[in-house]
Structure 1
Amino acid sequence: MKSPFSGANGGECVEIAHLSGGRVGVRDSKDRSGPALVFTPGEWAAFTRWVRTDDMV
């Protein structure tokens, strides 16, 4: 699933994938064979909560 905030021109793109065990994978859509971050369900919940709170440093 590509972020709705990613531009249509192939610019800054982020994709997420729902994996087994409730894990979530995140990668750069321009580098599909490159590395991915994999979050546990708790880590993903904490990360998305942090992003939405505007408490980013």
Structure 2
Amino acid sequence: MSEAAALPLVVVFGIITVLFVRSREVPSWIAVLIFLFGFYVSQTPAVFMISETVNWVISRFTF
């Protein structure tokens, strides 16, 4: 995933993270969003494996 493609994801995950952390209610699916936000911000070498996993999950929900 290129840096230009990751930037919108970082912004969206950042906004969602800030809103839910401020509300002090963080269910498990939001914890996953927070994890993804941290992951895309850090751009570690594992980004390719997690990006492929996210793309696979999204492709399973879209027909």
TM-score after normalising by structure 2 = 0.33
Higher share of residues assigned helix: 2
